[in-house]
Amino acid sequence: MEPITINNLTFAYPGQEPLFNHCDLNISSDWKLGLLGRNGRGKTTLLKILQKQLSFQGSIQTNLKFNYYPLVIREPNDYTMNVLMRSGYQGEQWQIERELNLMATPTELLWQPFSSLSGGE
């Protein structure tokens, strides 16, 4: 388990109201967590902050590395499984298949060209 501790996070784009205003958050890497929300609510901004792409006030303490999808795919006609393995994923094929099954998504998608998948897939 690796914690993500966010203290007093404040961030606003120039000329706009703050997306985050003195936010505190503790997250365990053991959790399966998704960010859901309407457009413009700060989901992508939070990920950019975690990746140190945006300046902010407050502190974030973690040793984790954050990836953001969709990645730039250099070989979109390659099999999806190969694309995933080159993306920095460090698990094994059975783990990907297990997650797909939990989402009621056919594992056959792994053996289709990545370019054939929809945005949601």
Give yes or no: residues 55 and 88 share one domain: no
Give yes or no: residues 7 and 57 share one domain: yes
For 47-75, the pLDDT digits (tens) are 899 999 999 999 999 998 887 666 788 89
State the residue range of the domain holding 52: 3-61
For 65-112, the pLDDT digits (tens) are 887 666 788 899 999 999 988 887 878 999 999 989 988 889 999 999
Question: Residue written as tokens 């990645």?
Answer: 71
The count of structural domains within the chain is 2
Give yes or no: residues 16 and 54 share one domain: yes
Cβ atoms of 71 and 102 within 8 Å: the answer is: no
Measured CA to CA in angstroms, residue 4 lies from 31, 53, 56, 65, 99 at distances of 11, 17, 16, 11, 23
